């Protein structure tokens, strides 16, 4: 009976340190048919993202979601499928300082499913598609979620998030042939984050091969902060769980030690 009581104490201690999931950053904005976006092939981009400050207290990284925009049509590629797959890599770095991110904390590469944007609607001009509510769009917004749960990362309060992928001409390993990935973009929300903080609302992190794209051309081909982006916020959400405090873990250890002692006495 005494052992059962001690085991009960262990369960209670573990419950106090239980995982609590929460969204700690959210700049996705409301669900929409499409949103402004940055095209990787069109802007000679290898990686794009933002420096963000997390809200709340949960810091055990579960997932990162990026809202993207697909501009490719199934009819262009003779496809009967709902979309195609393409490798996307989500990198999480330390916050760093100045214009540069810190060291890489973790990375996940996903063979992501990319939906085609709908075909042109008769009710829209310039080849755009209609959502049936009188709104016409050129691309289609969709979310991609990267699962970081197996990495066991505990984040600092601020990080830099970057999305990298290859296109025909750009990226870590350019593909060399055109494809629908050349019409795949990183979404840009128009409002401030609803959870957490965009550390510099005028800045993003951008690795582009064209110096003329940048406010500081010296950072060409570097993943560095670029400015003059006020009004456009990379659309990112971060989910995390509470990490047990050392004191909570110590309580569990004491309780388990008590179980072992009680069992030895009983024996």
Task: Give the per-residue pLDDT at 246.
Answer: 59
Does residue 17 or residue 156 have the better pLDDT?
156
Number of H helices, E strands in the chain: 2, 16
Query: Residue 171 region, left (φ>0) first, then alpha (ψ -120 to 50), else beta?
Result: left
Task: Give the per-residue pLDDT at 21.
Answer: 87
Residues 6+ apart with CB under 8 A from 198: 27, 50, 51, 52, 53, 192, 233
Sketch the domain layout of the chain as residue ranges: 1-17+246-267, 20-243
Does residue 160 or residue 11 have the better pLDDT?
160
The size of the chain, in residues, is 267
Is the per-residue pLDDT at 259 higher than 50? Answer: no
- Per-residue confidence at 206, pLDDT binned at 50, 70, 90? very high
Task: Give the per-residue pLDDT at 248.
Answer: 46
**CA–CA dist 142, 40 (Å, integer):** 16
Name the pTM for this structure: 0.87
Is the per-residue pLDDT at 265 higher than 80? Answer: no
Task: Give the per-residue pLDDT at 260.
Answer: 52
181-194 pLDDT per residue, tens: 999 999 999 999 99
113-131 pLDDT per residue, tens: 999 999 999 999 999 999 9
Is the per-residue pLDDT at 17 higher than 50? Answer: no
The string of DSSP codes covering 163-212 is: EE---SS-SSS--SS--GGGGEEEEEESS--SBSEES-TT-EEEEES-GG
88-98 pLDDT per residue, tens: 999 999 999 99
């Amino acid at each position: 009976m005494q052992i059962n009581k001690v085991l009960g104490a262990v369960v209670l201690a573990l419950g106090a340190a239980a995982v609590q999931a929460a969204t700690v950053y959210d700049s996705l904005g409301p669900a929409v048919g499409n949103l402004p976006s940055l095209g990787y092939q069109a802007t000679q981009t290898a990686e794009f993202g933002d420096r963000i400050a997390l809200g709340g207290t949960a810091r055990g990284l579960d997932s990162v979601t990026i809202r993207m925009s697909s501009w490719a049509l199934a009819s262009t590629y003779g496809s009967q499928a709902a979309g195609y797959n393409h490798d996307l890599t989500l990198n999480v770095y330390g916050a760093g300082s100045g214009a540069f991110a810190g060291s890489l904390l973790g990375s996940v590469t996903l063979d992501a499913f990319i939906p085609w944007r709908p075909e042109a609607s008769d009710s829209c001009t310039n080849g755009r598609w209609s959502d049936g509510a009188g709104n016409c769009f050129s691309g289609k917004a969709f979310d991609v979620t990267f699962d970081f749960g197996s990495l066991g990362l505990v984040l600092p309060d601020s990080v830099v998030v970057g999305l990298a992928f290859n296109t025909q001409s750009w990226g870590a390993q350019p593909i060399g042939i055109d494809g629908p990935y050349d019409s795949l973009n990183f979404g840009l929300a128009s409002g401030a984050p609803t959870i957490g903080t965009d550390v510099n609302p005028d800045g993003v992190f951008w690795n582009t091969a064209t110096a003329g794209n940048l406010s500081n051309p010296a950072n060409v081909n570097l993943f560095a902060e670029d400015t003059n982006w006020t009004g456009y916020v990379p659309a990112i959400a971060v989910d995390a769980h509470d990490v047990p405090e050392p004191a909570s873990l110590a309580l569990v250890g004491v309780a388990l030690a008590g179980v072992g002692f009680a069992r030895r006495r009983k024996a």
